[in-house]
A and B are shown apart, each in its own frame.
Chain A
Amino acid sequence: MSSQPPIIVENLQGGYNGIPVIHGCNMEIAQGEIVVIMGGSGSGKSTFLKHLIGLKEPMQGDVKLFGQSLYQTSIYKRMDLLKGIGVAFQSGALMSSMTIAENVALPLREHTDLDEELIQVITRMKLDFVNLLGKDDLLPSELSGGMLKRAAVARAIALDPKLTFMDEPSAGLDPVIAAALDDLIIQLKESLGMSVVVVTHELESAFKIADRIVVLDRGYIIFSGTPDEIKKSDNTRIQNLINRVPEEEEFDAELYAQQLMGQ
Chain B
Amino acid sequence: MSQITNRISQTGQSTLNAITAIGYASILIWDSILLLFMGKRVNQPVRFGLVIDEIINAGVKAVPVVALMSATIGVMLSIQGIHTLSIFGAETQVTFGLAISIPREFAPLITGILVAGRSGSQLTSRVGSMQLNGEIDALTVMGIAPARYVVAPSLIGLLVSLPVLVVIGNLAAFSAAGLYIHATLGIGPDAYWADILDVVTIDDFLHGIMKSFIFAILLAMIAISLGMRVYGGAEVLGKSTTKSVVTCIAAIIGADTIFALLL
Task: Assess whether A93 is in contact with B43, with CB atoms less than 8 Å apart.
Answer: no
Interface-lining segment among A105-113, A183-191, A226-234: A105-113
Task: Assess whether B140 is in contact with A82, with CB atoms less than 8 Å apart.
Answer: yes
Complex CA gap A96/B44 in Å reads 22
Within 8 A of B (CB), among A66-98: 75-76, 79-83, 85, 87, 89, 91-96
Task: Assess whether B142 is in contact with A107, with CB atoms less than 8 Å apart.
Answer: yes
> Which of chain B's residues have a CB closer than 8 A to the CB of A94?
135, 138
Interface: A53 (CB within 8 A):
yes
Interface: B219 (CB within 8 A):
no
CB distance from A158 to the nearest CB of B (A): 9
Partner of B145, one of A76, A96, A107: A76
Interface range on chain B (Cβ under 8 Å from partner): 10 to 19
> Which of chain B's residues have a CB closer than 8 A to the CB of A82?
140-143
Task: Assess whether B140 is in contact with A80, with CB atoms less than 8 Å apart.
Answer: no
Task: Assess whether B135 is in contact with A93, with CB atoms less than 8 Å apart.
Answer: yes
> Which of chain B's residues have a CB closer than 8 A to the CB of A75?
145
> Which of chain A's residues have a CB closer than 8 A to the CB of B142?
82-83, 87, 106-107, 110, 155
Interface: A54 (CB within 8 A):
yes
Complex CA gap A53/B134 in Å reads 14
Complex CA gap A89/B137 in Å reads 10
Partner of A96, one of B133, B137, B140, B143: B133
Partner of B141, one of A76, A80, A87, A96: A87
Interface: B200 (CB within 8 A):
no
Task: Assess whether B140 is in contact with A54, with CB atoms less than 8 Å apart.
Answer: yes
Residue-wise, chain B 93-124 has the 8 Å CB interface mask toward A (1 for contact) of: 00000000000000000000000000000000
The count of residues in chain A whose C-beta lies closer than 8 Å to any C-beta of chain B is 24
Task: Assess whether B143 is in contact with A89, with CB atoms less than 8 Å apart.
Answer: no
> Which of chain A's residues have a CB closer than 8 A to the CB of B134?
89, 91-93
> Which of chain B's residues have a CB closer than 8 A to the CB of A107?
142-144
With A87-B138, A93-B138, A107-B142 known as contacts, the answer to whether A79 contacts B129 (CB < 8 A) is no
27 intermolecular pairs with C-beta atoms under 8 Å apart: A54-B140, A54-B141, A55-B140, A55-B141, A75-B145, A76-B43, A79-B43, A79-B140, A79-B143, A79-B144, A79-B145, A80-B43, A80-B143, A81-B143, A82-B140, A89-B138, A91-B134, A93-B133, A93-B134, A93-B137, A94-B135, A94-B138, A95-B130, A96-B129, A106-B142, A110-B144, A111-B143
New A-B pairs, 11, CB < 8 Å, besides A79-B140, A94-B135, A110-B144: A55-B140, A76-B42, A79-B144, A82-B141, A82-B143, A89-B137, A91-B133, A92-B134, A107-B143, A110-B142, A111-B143
Interface residues, chain A, with chain B CB atoms under 8 Å away: 53-55, 75-76, 79-83, 85, 87, 89, 91-96, 106-107, 110-111, 155
| 10 closest residue pairs by CB, A with B | A93-B134, A83-B143, A76-B42, A93-B138, A79-B143, A82-B143, A87-B141, A53-B141, A107-B142, A89-B134
